[in-house]
Structure 1
Amino acid sequence: MDSMLSIIPKMGRKGNDMSKFNNEYVKGVLRTEGTRFVNEDGQEIILHGYGTANWMNVEGFMIGEPPVARDMFKYILFPGEGKDHNPTRWSTRRTVDLTIRELCGPKYLETFWDRWEENHLQEADIALMAELGYNCVRLVLNANALLYEEEGITFNEKCFKRLSNALDWCEKHKIYAILDMHGVVGGNNGATGDSLFCEFPSVFLDDESTERQIILWEEIVRRFHDRWIIAGYDLINEPVSSPIQHKYIPLLDQYYAECIERLRKIDPVHIMFIEPSKFARDPGFLTHPFDPDYNNWAISIHLYGASPEIKDLYPWLLKREEFNVPLWLGECGNNPDANGIFYEICAHYGIAYTPWAWKTADNGKFPVGSVGAPLPKDWDKICNFLTTGARPSYKESQRIMDEYIENLKLEHCTVNRDNARISAKHPSCTISGVGYDMWDEDGSRHYGTWELSNYLDFRLEDHTKLVWATDKRLPYPKFAWYDDPNELRYDPLTDLALELAENEFANYTVREVTKDCALTIEGIGEGEAEVLCNGATIGTIKWEKGDILNPAKSSVMTIAPTEEAVVKIRVIRGTITVKKLIFEM
């Protein structure tokens, strides 16, 4: 039906400014303005890019660590008090450091990290980010890379130079940079992405670690506060996360207060990003403004595998409204089809997003997320040593590590351009029938008239009729006290379809249609629908009732080149069930 409830008309679809999605608006110092990020001219920008995991701060499971059993990986994330918090030898910068010493010798280790960091992030990487349409990068730092672990304060000038070079590249290619202290002095969460000594957050527990960490931040800000390309400072990553650490959450609040107070004396301009406790997923931590004197701060959350609907954002949208500050998904990610739908919702609310992670090891077993660095051909010898095998000779170990370091250069890597394109809803791509736009052309919220739920409780607030569209058995209630070995995994984007009755409609948006794009719609029904693109009719659908497991295909329709194409399916007779839309360009 055409008369829908009209709420949240903040970003109407007509005349939508596409510049805020690319790097055209990367100019001047970024700041917050209410719940939005804006540039020096006050133009809103939707920050989106990637985090540079494994540059200064490595995590074993992304750089070729031998397979870890699921129950063991859970234990790494949630260690028990007094137990070995890091049972693998290739999991953090600290453990990799020790392993390189064992394999290749202390002299080789002297230059290992310099060579690793030089190759892992180069200008070619930043240039590729800009080419793929990104406008932001989360530069992942490790305190042990920038500040030597020894008595007194001695900074690693080579590492600071690499950071300065990265900022130069960001300025050249118009990519805002968020400086992310991923691994802090002494450790902050006990998990794999940490500089931990043990399973406890030493950065809060001993005065020396706390002071050294804040001194490091002061030095970073003192050196770079005049760099306009810096979007802001992500002060600590996923702090006090493991359950045994939760009693230290008040110390995190104290850390933020002292850190921000001291940094504001040097830099009153750039944004402070605040990650809550419990893997940056606890809205209850956010009880007060964190930058009261300057009110230039944002909430950073980590949200992996979010359902492509609004419900996973609810608690954060409430905090956003409570403090009138923007949200940033500092880490996130799902499959590209789900990302495209979810990021569309984020963009409506001005929410920034930087999926994890830009460059990881490509072991050939799993699809490369963004950029995959090939592992050395004899990597299995390293894995054997890390588990139960013999140690390769010094010479052989050095040869393997030399090959790995060379492979980190972008020129040797596999680039998954499809991931970036599909996540941005750029053709060629496929959109599920249940992945319809949440807002109509005039910016009003899209609602249907269906009063019941659906089998997967998906998009319930929309009141649209989502029907079963898979040969999987129907889900059934589970018992809380045992694991059901027959439980199935369901995906609403493939297991459901959208049923539209007469006079009902749904919209689907794609962007950057650079040439004629062929559109095919799959589904079933006994009815007829008009298909429009940006208000002009491009075809019709006439289907007979069929089998949703073997849906019918519409005739091929053509979408002319445009920055943004909004496809509307409007039922004019009977009922139409939409399984998916296929855009081919």
Structure 2
Amino acid sequence: MNARNGEVNGFLRTDGKRLVNGVGHEVLLRGVGFGSWLLPEGYMWRLPEAGDRPRRMERMIEQLIGSVKANEFWESYYEAHSAEDDIRQIAAEGFNSVRLPLNARFLIEEEEPLQLKEHHLRLLDRMIGWCREYKLYVILDLHGAPGGQTGTNIDDSEHDLPELFIKESHRKASIALWGALAERYKDEWIIAGYDLLNEPLPDWFSQYNGLVMPLYKEMTEAIRRVDSKHMIILEGAHWATDWSIFDEKFDDNLMLQFHKYWNNPDQESIQKFLDKRDEWDVPIFMGEGGENNIDWYVGAFGMYDDLNISWNFWTWKKMDTDNSPCSIIKPAGWHKLVDFLEGGEPPTAAEAEDILWEYLHNMRFENCEYHPEVVHALLRRPPLRYPAIFYGYKGRGISYKIQHEAKVNIGFREGDGTDIRFIASPRTEPNFQHGGGEPWAEDDRLCLQANAGDWFQYEVNVPASVQDRDHRCYQVQIRMSATDLPSRIAVELNGEFVGEIDVVTNSWATYLLRAKIEIPSGQHAIGIKVMSHTVRLDYLELISETI
């Protein structure tokens, strides 16, 4: 699972449902997105609606410190927010790709005829060069198209309308932009593909849905006139989740993209995308998902791996967070900017400049708070806690085995037939909504009820990096309870017996396996098997120990 194993090698292309690199080896993209770099987003700055998109942020900063200082701030921002140190860390963690969201306003000087900002393109060139050096495939993502494709803050919409589909000049500019980017990067192998439009047309603008595929085809024609090598990536409508717009496979190097937030991490929730993968015989990509808690990440991103779906986590860095790898420390006076946007008195120009330049300092990777636990959850890397309900997704007989079908269907992992129930909760369905970085409250968490003979596998990936060489011995800790006493479970590694635990109470308790487990680098499976009676499993935790 490390990019240094040679998988980032040559032009990436599709081969049926697979992605293969330049030497024909299969690749599953596992990466992070650079949200808020070239298209800043207000929620990542902890700003209210009045500062929710680039043009509003720009207006605020110009009002506070003047146009000259504002220009200086923005050029420094683009230099500092996402830089070589970020790329170096992403590669060192074992990711193999990044998704770069582009704002057309960042790139375009004039739409008719198209004139690009060369100094901004050089910033993009430099980032691509770093990715080539550190072996990270790059996905170019038109996140904010000319005029906006969503009519919301996420594409820097000016009038809250999807003007890309309303004004002919914007449509032509978007086609010309992709043609220009393809001309510039046609020979750049580190670019994995072109993500033509991010999340076009939410449901309330669905009257324009019929215009998306024709535009995709025109964009692709402009690209193919100069570039026959790079993959084309298509997103569905309504936050990339509505794939009914995909009526025709019009290119032989296509990948389809969906996004996933705040809902069940189970196969049922993405079955329509798996079905389209089979129908079109193309690879699929979960191109944007995250903004939840670490428990959810373990389930969702583990599912993508098990079902051979490439993925990209949103997002690498934002302010004051614990559910992204990098947290920008909020400047001490940041509330003054928030108060101003909410109608309060502005800070003085000197105060505002101090606050903003502190922000520039804090956003550099070396000054961020780093959360390795987020990366561990995404890559199923110990030390890690696995909610018991997120056993593997490779199917019955591989990831799990059950003796009795569920008596109650609660709308989660229905196809597995397992008996999953809430812990002391009046709810009647799972709650996988946005949860910040905190674990589920105990009365919201699901447990796994398992009977004698049932077993479940939990994938674990141990890196081969030098710094981890002395940290491959793990303690196994399991939180569980029994319905009948005494109950017993066995713990296995790759199907081999490691040890047993007697469950001696019908109240929730945490048990530590006496035998420590030494796990070599690579991909493995921790198994839990119920030996007698019925056990309720809350979570399994692998805790590192130096040996």
Does residue 377 of structure 1 match 2:332? yes
Q: Pick from 309, 313, 331: which aligns with 1:355? A: 313
Pick closer, same or farther for the CA change 1:527–1:394 going to 2, 3 Å.
Answer: closer
Give the match for residue 526 of structure 2: 567
Aligned 8 A contact 1:368 1:414 in 2: no
Give the match for residue 445 of structure 2: 494
Give the match for residue 80 of structure 1: none
Pick closer, same or farther for the CA change 1:361–1:577 going to 2, 3 Å.
Answer: closer
Does residue 170 of structure 1 match 2:127? no
Does residue 505 of structure 1 match 2:439? no
Between the aligned partners of 2:313 and 2:127, the Cα distance in structure 1 is 19
Residue 337 of structure 1 and its aligned partner are, at CA, apart by: 2.2
What secondary structure does 1:565 align onto? strand
What secondary structure does 1:89 align onto? helix
Between the aligned partners of 2:173 and 2:393, the Cα distance in structure 1 is 47
Q: Pick from 449, 460, 476: which aligns with 1:519? A: 476
Give the match for residue 223 of structure 1: 184
1:30 partner letter: L
Does residue 558 of structure 1 match 2:516? yes
1:140 partner letter: P
2:35 partner letter: A
Aligned 8 A contact 1:280 1:300 in 2: yes
Between the aligned partners of 1:150 and 1:508, the Cα distance in structure 2 is 52
Aligned 8 A contact 1:422 1:428 in 2: no
Residue 52 of structure 1 and its aligned partner are, at CA, apart by: 0.4
Pick closer, same or farther for the CA change 1:100–1:518 going to 2, 3 Å.
Answer: same
TM-score, normalisation: structure 1: 0.84
Between the aligned partners of 1:217 and 1:392, the Cα distance in structure 2 is 41
What secondary structure does 2:74 align onto? helix
What secondary structure does 1:541 align onto? strand
Give the match for residue 466 of structure 1: 420
Pick closer, same or farther for the CA change 1:519–1:212 going to 2, 3 Å.
Answer: same
Aligned 8 A contact 2:191 2:230 in 1: yes
2:364 partner letter: K
Residue 552 of structure 1 and its aligned partner are, at CA, apart by: 5.4
Residue 564 of structure 1 and its aligned partner are, at CA, apart by: 2.5
Q: Pick from 413, 417, 421: which aligns with 2:368? A: 413
Residue 25 of structure 1 and its aligned partner are, at CA, apart by: 0.7
2:410 partner letter: L
Q: Deviations over 1:509-558 (max 9, x none)?
A: 211075211112332333333322123221112334x224x235253332
Between the aligned partners of 1:349 and 1:579, the Cα distance in structure 2 is 24
Q: Pick from 32, 35, 41: which aligns with 1:53? A: 35
Between the aligned partners of 1:340 and 1:328, the Cα distance in structure 2 is 18
Between the aligned partners of 2:443 and 2:310, the Cα distance in structure 1 is 25
Q: Pick from 428, 435, 443: which aligns with 2:390? A: 435
Aligned 8 A contact 1:520 1:557 in 2: no
Give the match for residue 433 of structure 2: none
What secondary structure does 1:497 align onto? strand
Q: Pick from 60, 73, 80: which aligns with 1:119? A: 80
Residue 225 of structure 1 and its aligned partner are, at CA, apart by: 1.4
Does residue 475 of structure 1 match 2:428? yes
Give the match for residue 36 of structure 1: 18
> Map of 1:74-113 to 2, 5 A cutoff?
88-113=49-74
Between the aligned partners of 2:313 and 2:278, the Cα distance in structure 1 is 24
Residue 330 of structure 1 and its aligned partner are, at CA, apart by: 1.2
What secondary structure does 2:217 align onto? helix
Q: Deviations over 1:348-378 (max 9, x none)?
A: 332111111111122xxx5252211123221
1:300 partner letter: Q
Larger mean CA deviation between 29-38 and 428-437 belongs to 428-437
1:509 partner letter: E
Residue 201 of structure 1 and its aligned partner are, at CA, apart by: 1.6
Between the aligned partners of 2:515 and 2:162, the Cα distance in structure 1 is 58
Does residue 254 of structure 1 match 2:211? no
Between the aligned partners of 1:240 and 1:467, the Cα distance in structure 2 is 37
Q: Pick from 283, 297, 320: which aligns with 2:277? A: 320
Between the aligned partners of 2:536 and 2:460, the Cα distance in structure 1 is 20
What secondary structure does 1:262 align onto? helix
What secondary structure does 2:174 align onto? helix
Percent of aligned pairs with the same amino acid: 28
What secondary structure does 2:26 align onto? coil
Aligned 8 A contact 2:17 2:284 in 1: yes
TM-score, normalisation: structure 2: 0.90
Pick closer, same or farther for the CA change 1:341–1:24 going to 2, 3 Å.
Answer: farther
List gaps (5 residues or longer) in structure 1. 1-17, 67-87, 478-488
Does residue 346 of structure 1 match 2:296? no
1:29 partner letter: F
What secondary structure does 1:193 align onto? helix
Between the aligned partners of 1:576 and 1:378, the Cα distance in structure 2 is 51
Between the aligned partners of 2:71 and 2:112, the Cα distance in structure 1 is 19
Between the aligned partners of 2:533 and 2:330, the Cα distance in structure 1 is 56
Residue 22 of structure 1 and its aligned partner are, at CA, apart by: 6.6
Q: Deviations over 1:385-432 (max 9, x none)?
A: 111211223333223222222222112111111100122221111112
Aligned 8 A contact 2:54 2:156 in 1: yes
What secondary structure does 2:389 align onto? coil
Alignment length (residue pairs): 523
1:392 partner letter: P
1:154 partner letter: Q
Does residue 187 of structure 1 match 2:138? no
Aligned 8 A contact 2:99 2:140 in 1: yes
Q: Pick from 219, 232, 237: which aligns with 1:272? A: 232
Residue 445 of structure 1 and its aligned partner are, at CA, apart by: 6.4
Residue 289 of structure 1 and its aligned partner are, at CA, apart by: 0.8
2:543 partner letter: E
Pick closer, same or farther for the CA change 1:401–1:557 going to 2, 3 Å.
Answer: same
Pick closer, same or farther for the CA change 1:476–1:321 going to 2, 3 Å.
Answer: closer
Aligned 8 A contact 1:240 1:248 in 2: yes
Pick closer, same or farther for the CA change 1:144–1:440 going to 2, 3 Å.
Answer: closer
Pick closer, same or farther for the CA change 1:158–1:227 going to 2, 3 Å.
Answer: same
What secondary structure does 1:392 align onto? coil
Aligned 8 A contact 2:399 2:456 in 1: no
Residue 262 of structure 1 and its aligned partner are, at CA, apart by: 1.2
2:525 partner letter: V
List gaps (5 residues or longer) in structure 2. 431-439, 464-470
